[in-house]
Each structure stands twice: as C-alpha cells, then as structure tokens.
Chains A and B, each alone.
Chain A
Amino acid sequence: MVKKQTIGADFSEAPVCVSEWGRFRRVFFERKLVMFGLIVLMLLVITAIFAPLLAPYDPYQSNMADSLLAPSSKYLLGTDIQGRDTLSRLIFGSRTALMVGFLTVGIAGIAGVTLGLVAGYFGGITNMIIMRTMDALMGFPMILLALIIAALLGSGIVNVIIALSVATLPGYARVMHGLTLSIRENDYILAQRAMGAGNIRAMFSHILPNALPPMIVLITLQLGALILAEAGLSFLGIGIKPPGAAWGAMVADGYRYLSSYPWLSFAPGVAIMLVVFAFNLVGDGLRDALDPRLRGLL
C-alpha cells in the first residue's frame, strides 16, 4: 500500500514524497477521538475473548438470596432479579454483541456484495429484479423486518443473525451496485474484456478488489448500527433471552424494576452506547483515512 512518487531530481526541487501509508497513518492514528474508539474496541475484544477469566461470577447462575442488590463491593454493579451478577453478565454480553455483529456483517456482506456485483455487472432484467427487490427490502424499517423474521423463526442467536443479515444486505447491495457501475466503465475493465477475460474473472478479479476499500468502510460503519439493532431486538424479547446474557435484554429486565432498582438498566445501556460510539468513531476515521472523497458516498 506504500506508493512513493519523487518529483524532480535536481537539487533545488526537493523531492516530494507522496506516501499513502504516511497519510493514512496521519489521518487515522493521530486523531484522538479515533484512537479512543480503537482502544475501546480493543478492550471489547479482549473482554469478549477472556470473558470467563474476567467475570467474577457465573453469569447464568441464579442465586435468589442475592436478588436485586444495589452495587456494592461484593457485586460491583449489583444483581438482577435472579441474583445474577450484573457485571459478569455485562462481560459475557460482549460476546453476544460481537458475535452477532461480525457474523451478520459477514453474511450480509457476502450476500449483498455478490448481489450488487451481479446486478451491476450484467444489467438488464437481472439488474432490475435484484435492485427493485433490494429497494423493497429497504422500504421496510429494518427493525420491522428483523422483528418478523426473528419472530417467525423463533428465538436464538442464529435467527437474530439471519434476520439482521436480511435487513442489512440491501444496503450493501446498493452501494456495491453503484460501485460496480462506475468501475465497470473504467477502461481497464474494457481492456481486460478485449483480451478475452470472461465475466467471472472480470467481476471477481478486477471489479471486486477495487470496490473493496469503500465496502470495508461501509461494513465498519454498519457494525455500530448492528449492535444497536441487536440490543433492540433482545430488549423486545427476541434473540437472546435470559438466562443468556445480552445487553438489550438486561436493559429490558431493568425496565420492569425501574422505580426501585434503577441501576439494573443503567450499566448495560452505557455499554451499548460506548461500544457503538467506538465503532462509529473508528469507522469514520477509517473512511476519512482511506479516502475522504467517500464522505459524500457513505
């Protein structure tokens, strides 16, 4: 990714080094907010991976004697109605959040990119059918779509992932479609075709790699929104239900006891907010660092 250009070789013309990696580093790493986001994300990943080691108590174990305790030195964030330690549940909840986020983005990404690529490349009826279906899917408020699918398929993390994937892939398809259209017209694609490259080759070896950077940015930007959506679904009671640990569900639990035990809802909400905030910061930082021109597009 390092590109260097040296203009002029004479003594008075100071060589101008245009280094892409240098610029990336400057725009990305030297922004305090973005660094903050990156740190939060790293902490999140560490928490998720080492959850069993970090959590002081078993997040699924009921302990009715200690039900609804306020934060104390024993239970740093208090306990819920079943006497489960909120902090431990919070820690394990990070696993749910990350798993849902990354898997959804993976599935939706592959599906959406493929659809957009095919639609944009072949054009015609294929294009119309695919893109109008995408439009129709996008016409649904995302929550609604996810709600129906998840409700019909039942609870459980897998169904949540499927539901969210279906809701997110139209967005990817649309951006990929636009990118395919513009890249397709580039001369080097025509040159490849003239040299006999087949459709598959043109699509995957040439168009796809060029579309990748903006797609990566889009995906990173989406992760935050997906975690928010998952939290929303588990709040509504779809997706992970107690005893499973999911932040949204924890907020819902706390809602019931809001007047007397307000802290139940507080911590998981902060967690959600912080994580989504971090993802958004990093996503924006990535976008600005890779190509500020993307600002208008994404």
Chain B
Amino acid sequence: MAELLRVENLKTQFHTDSGLVKAVDGISYHIDELEIIGLVGESGCGKSVSQLSVMQLINAPGKIVGGEVIFEGRDLLKLKAHGPEMRSVRGAKIAMIFQEPMTSLNPVLTINQQLTEMLELHLGMSSKEARERVIELLGMVGIPSAKSRVDDYPHQFSGGMRQRVMIAMALSCNPEILIADEPTTALDVTTQAQLLELMRDMVEQFKASLVIVTHNLGVVARYAQRIYIMYAGRIVEEGTTKDIFGNPRHPYTIGLLKCIPRLDEEEGRKLVPIKGLPPNLINMPPTCAFLPRCSYNIERCSQEPWPPLKHLHDQHYISCYADTEEKNR
C-alpha cells in the first residue's frame, strides 16, 4: 500500500513557567493507505501533542521546533500554520476527532450548522446540498431520526451520540487520514466498543486511514494493524500488532502488557504494575527516560544517551540497549 503520511524527527516544545517541556522529542512514523495504526502511551507522553503538531494546531507557549511532515509530496510544517494551504488540508485531507465529546462541539450552533460549514467550505456545496449530505452522514453513523435531529443543539445529545456526530463531521469531506485522539476515553465501556466498531466500518467505507491515539492497549489490539508505543516524547517500540502483543521487546511495552488482565491466561497470575511514576518532562536527563522504572537495565543504559531505534526484524523496532529476549515472559 502506498505511503500517505511520513513524519520525520518531529520535535515540539513548550516554554512553561517551570521550564522547557520537550513534549515531542524526535518521533518518526508513517501511515499508509487504508491502514489503521495505533499510537499508544500514558498521559503526558506526547502522543496528543504529536498529532496536533501534524495538524499545525500548536499554540503558544508551544512551538514545533523541528522535523518534517511529508504529505502529498510536501512538508506540511513548512506551510504557514493558518495559511490557505494548510487550511485546505485540515478537515478536507486530514481530520481529527477529540477526546471530550461534551465540550468539542460548539454549544450555540446546531449540529447542522457545524457540519454544513465544512461541506460548504471544502466541497463547495450549496446549503441545501450540504444539509442533505449531513442528514445522510448522520444516518451512516447511527444517529436515529437524523432528519428531525439535525437542527438540534449539542447539549440535546448524549456523549456517545456527540462522538458519533464528531465522526460524521470528521469524515464529511472524505479525508485521507482520520486522527482519533483518545476518542473513547470519556465514554463508558459499551459505548466505547460501539464507537470503535463504527470508526472501523466508517474508515473502510470512506477508504481512509485511521490513527488511534490512546493509552489503552486493549483498544488498539483489535483494530490496529501497526502500533507505535510512546514514552516521554519518543517512540520506544513499533511494530505490527502481532509483534507488539506476541513478542513485546521494550521493557515499557512488556510492563504495559503485564498490567493488562487477559481472558486467555492461567488464573492466579498477578497483575504487575510498572513501578515508579511517569517522568517529569522538564529537565530530562540525556539517558533513557524509562531507566528509573526499568528492571532490565544494564550498565550501558545509565552511561549513554537515549538509545536509537534498533531494527529487530521486518517492521519491528525498539529503542533499547538491553537484550530483553531471555528475560521476557
């Protein structure tokens, strides 16, 4: 499958009162056509910031300080953040849905207004055409009686419904990539499952690629083809879903998997949390950020800077000096 988007060594930093936060510290990844990838990591690891950087939606005190985002043959980061070219990419070619459905829709505008404005802007539809398309889209995402509800306000919908509206809105202009930033975190478990199924079906129907950003490995297990694991602003492991779940090699990934309860394992296995706390991104030492919490560490880890990505095989890479093969499982 052809490559749609390639991110090279992206770096985004925030100048806060307490110091410089290197939220994204040099990540590289790619998205191909018609694939679903997962970007997994804990809160604060930089995964959301990385996606916002791709869309050039980073505002002061944040700043994208390095890297390239190659899309359709050009570097998006070289475009003016609010210039017409970048604007024509946002929404129309790359779309994003956010974590909080309760607050991500404008409370004083109707659903119809919020969807038709995109159709009118990017696809040049008339308001009548746009309205019909909106009703169609709402039906596709599973909003009952779409025709009568299209003029309602967001507060008249439940959280799950609002997220469906967001999905409809994101896909309305047939983007090539849909980025879903923690799309189900704020919803209950049943709704989560429904929504993920819906997203998978929709991107299939619309022939788009999907990036699922989440802290929950379970969410991506079922749907993603490839997964990137992020920690403290960098990618520490990447590979196919099979690689990650079947043969996790980075200590962090191994740790993550150990904390997830699984149906298919023997009883009595203890859930082992990863010791320690997430790192403070200010004043990071040059060595590996996971070191204080790592049980595989070797001498090299505390002497050399953060390890570069090591190719294991095929699409599986890790950022680690230690040999985690024998100690695994």
Contact = CB atoms under 8 A, between A and B. Distances in A.
27 contacts: A7-B277, A7-B280, A8-B276, A8-B277, A8-B279, A8-B280, A10-B276, A11-B285, A11-B292, A12-B279, A12-B284, A12-B285, A12-B287, A12-B289, A12-B291, A12-B292, A13-B276, A13-B277, A13-B279, A13-B280, A13-B292, A14-B280, A14-B282, A14-B283, A16-B280, A16-B282, A26-B17
Nearest to B284: A12
Interface string B146-168: 00000000000000000000000
B145 interface: no
Contacts of A7: 277, 280
Nearest to A16: B280
B18 interface: yes
Given A10-B292, A11-B285, A13-B277, 11 more contacts: A7-B280, A8-B276, A8-B280, A10-B276, A12-B279, A12-B284, A12-B287, A12-B291, A13-B292, A16-B18, A26-B17
A18 to B, nearest CB: 9
Closest 7 CB pairs of A and B: A10-B292, A14-B283, A8-B277, A12-B285, A12-B292, A13-B280, A14-B280
Contacts, number: 29
Interface string A1-35: 00000011011111010000000001000000000
Interface residues of B, number: 14
B292 to A, nearest CB: 4
B307 to A, nearest CB: 15
Contacts of A13: 276-277, 279-280, 292
Secondary structure dominating the interface of B: loop
Secondary structure dominating the interface of A: loop
Contacts of A16: 18, 280, 282
> Contact size class for A?
under 10
A16 B291 CA distance: 19
A7 B283 CA distance: 14
Nearest to B287: A12
Nearest to B285: A12
Contacts of B285: 11-12
Interface string B263-301: 000000000000011011011110101011000000000
Nearest to B17: A26
A14 B282 CA distance: 8
A12 B283 CA distance: 9
A12 B277 CA distance: 11
Contacts of A26: 17
A26 B18 CA distance: 12
Interface in B1-46: 17-18
A13 B280 CA distance: 6
Contacts of B287: 12
A13 to B, nearest CB: 5
A278 B91 CA distance: 48
Contacts of A11: 285, 292
B301 to A, nearest CB: 11
Contacts of B277: 7-8, 13
A270 B292 CA distance: 63
Interface string A162-197: 000000000000000000000000000000000000
Interface in A221-269: none
A164 B59 CA distance: 46
Contacts of B291: 12
A240 to B, nearest CB: 47
Interface in A112-155: none
